[in-house]
Amino acid sequence: MNHQLSDFFMQQRIVTFLLAFVLVCFLGNAQDQYPKNENVDVQHYVFGLSLTDASNEIQGETQVTVSFKEKATPFALDLVSKSGEFGMEVTEVLEDSLQADYTYTENKINIVPKTDAKTQTFSIKYHGIPERGLVISTTKFGKRSFFGDNWPNLARHWLASVDHPYDKASVVFQITAPDHYDVVATGEKIEESNLENGYKLTIYNEPAPVATKVMTIGVTEFASRIVGEVQGIPVSAWVYPQNRLEGFHDYTVAGKVLDYFINAIGPYSYAKLANMQAKTQWGGLENAGTIAYFENSVTGNNTVEPLIAHEIAHQWFGNSATEKSWNHVWLSEGFATYFSILYLENVYGDERRKEELATDRREIIAYYKTNPSPIVDLTITDPMRVLSTNTYQKAGWVLNMLRYALGDDTFWKGIRQYYATYRNSNVLTDDFRQVMEAVSGKRLEGFFQQWLFTEGHPQLKWNWEYEKGKVVLNLEQMQSHHVFQFPLEIGLVKDGKMVVETIQVDGRSQNFEIQSKFRPDSIILDPNQWTLFQTVSGPKK
């Protein structure tokens, strides 16, 4: 496919300056309320955790290595303090093995460094019962279990950390637990040692920088197997023993998905790819290199291939190239949604892409009726509210439209360049736009502004007639708040065969003349699912 819409982008130049100004204003006023400390960069965490069967209380020790960009200054770590049954009590904070100067108030450990060293390591010891974040429960088979479930900002319930994706760090998990448990965690297993009194120490190390939202552990009775290896990356399945054969079967497809994304996008960033049946509040949680899937995902019938593709796509988008602000979470969820569709298209053909997008279109239209808001919604301040049909399905549709606008080759070239530029880093919407502009040579302010920062979609009233060798198409945009500009494919159907023409819609009410030697039996708007719109009135079928 090589649809090059140069005329469309030339028309957009007349509003480029204004739109660029507006876009910068939007990005400069993102509503993510987390108090970012840009002078402090967390380099590395070591999370030591002791788990028992005697109670749900955990013993924790965080060693955090921080680098100060200018000079050593006060900084804070998130840790939810004890209130009633739940929360943590801090017993000791050390600065390079000496007692640190700190306070612990309002769920923040505020540390004032005593030395001017540019890089320092602090140790925080604490204990308590986490209310969230670390799910201490039983599996559906009644077996005691511990699962990290941090998204979006629940790590603070059990890990002393900078609990926001803007500051990522390498991580080591040192898990001490009764020796009848199997332990999986973010990173590569580097030690498993039996200790005294029936306990076992398991250590995992992830050298790539990871956001706390996608750090995890899984501790229960597992059946595990290496189900594949892709370009040196081990692919494993961790499932409940009662689901052993079904789970190994269902999760084996992860190797095929991983191979597709490595070849299509770029190198995989993490030490392994483990696929874990888990107790999670989500259908799937894209923890870096250790993905959690809901307990009933295991059926033995390969029913969760799209979910597996979605969560593995996150390893590139959201985990490695990570949104710097929660308001830009579409860079995670919208990408995972569309790249799951791209994987399905690659395996099952373009009809599958069209089917998935048609379903998503219906959900987008229904959602907008009760939730009229843009994808990048700067009124949202709570990260638990950023997930919606907008940030998943509509954002996926935006990428589909961008692909159509740029053509396959340019789109994929831009995606690979975007990932190469922001791998293991942070990104905002404008960063993605600039990469796609640089690769395509096109100005995209108008496209990004109307589809990401403007609510809604075109709502079309249309009809057509045939006269003197021409199809006359009358089209009106019925939404009152904005006139969208977009290309639209028109399918002219005759005797079961279709000819596709493309028009450029850029006004509220327009008439288009399409040359045709025959009177069509019917006309289909957007037969190939490339443009997001809603038909509010049109010819009856």
- Asked if residue 317 belongs to a domain, the reply is no
Mark whether 332 and 365 lie in a shared domain: yes
Residue 6 reports pLDDT greater than 50: no
| Average pLDDT, integer, range 370-390 | 97
- Residue 9 has a pLDDT of 33
Mark whether 364 and 240 lie in a shared domain: no
Q: Which residue has the tokens 């708040």?
A: 481
Mark whether 229 and 126 lie in a shared domain: yes
Mark whether 418 and 492 lie in a shared domain: no
Please give the tally of structural domains in the chain: 3
Q: Which residues contact 466 (CB under 8 A, 6 or more apart)?
A: 472, 516, 519, 520
Say what percent of the chain tops pLDDT 70.
94
| Average pLDDT, integer, range 280-306 | 97
SS3 assignment, position 21: helix
Distances (CA, A) of 308 to 214, 253, 279, 295: 16, 8, 16, 14
Distances (CA, A) of 58 to 54, 127, 316: 10, 6, 32
- pLDDT, tens digit (0-9, with 9 covering 90-100), for 199-246: 999 999 999 999 999 999 999 999 999 999 999 999 999 999 999 999
Residue 16 reports pLDDT greater than 80: no
- pLDDT, tens digit (0-9, with 9 covering 90-100), for 51-82: 999 999 999 999 999 999 999 999 999 999 99
Contact 469, 519 (CB under 8 A): no
Task: Specify the CATH number for the domain of residue 258.
Answer: 2.60.40.1730
- Residue 318 has a pLDDT of 98
| Average pLDDT, integer, range 262-279 | 98
Task: Specify the CATH number for the domain of residue 470.
Answer: 2.60.40.1840
Using CA atoms of 93, 94, 95, 98 in order, give the dihedral in degrees to the nearest 10: 140
Mark whether 334 and 473 lie in a shared domain: no
Is there a cis peptide before residue 152, judged by omega within 30 degrees of 0? yes
- Asked if residue 1 belongs to a domain, the reply is no
Contact 471, 520 (CB under 8 A): yes
Residue 3 reports pLDDT greater than 60: no
- Asked if residue 35 belongs to a domain, the reply is no
Residue 4 reports pLDDT greater than 60: no
Residue 517 and residue 178: Cα distance in Å, rounded?
A: 78
Mark whether 10 and 52 lie in a shared domain: no
Q: What is the pTM for the complete model shown?
A: 0.93
- pLDDT, tens digit (0-9, with 9 covering 90-100), for 345-359: 999 999 999 999 999
493: domain range?
459-537
Mark whether 202 and 164 lie in a shared domain: yes
Mark whether 177 and 249 lie in a shared domain: yes
Residue where a domain stops, chosen among 312, 347, 368? 312
Residue 45 reports pLDDT greater than 50: yes
Mark whether 200 and 248 lie in a shared domain: yes
Residue 154 reports pLDDT greater than 80: yes
Contact 42, 169 (CB under 8 A): yes
- Residue 244 has a pLDDT of 97
> 417: pLDDT confidence band, cut at 50, 70 and 90?
very high
Residue 409 reports pLDDT greater than 50: yes
- Residue 538 has a pLDDT of 77
> 540: pLDDT confidence band, cut at 50, 70 and 90?
low
Residue where a domain stops, chosen among 452, 469, 487? 452
- pLDDT, tens digit (0-9, with 9 covering 90-100), for 431-474: 999 999 999 999 999 999 999 999 999 999 999 999 999 999 99
- pLDDT, tens digit (0-9, with 9 covering 90-100), for 479-496: 999 999 999 999 999 999
Q: Which residue has the tokens 């190797």?
A: 255
- Residue 17 has a pLDDT of 33
Give ∠ CA 59-65-68 in degrees, rounded to 5: 140
Distance of CA 200 to the CA centre of its chain: 34
Q: Which residues contact 158 (CB under 8 A, 6 or more apart)?
A: 49, 58, 60, 88, 130, 133, 134, 148
Mark whether 58 and 142 lie in a shared domain: yes
Residue 277 reports pLDDT greater than 50: yes
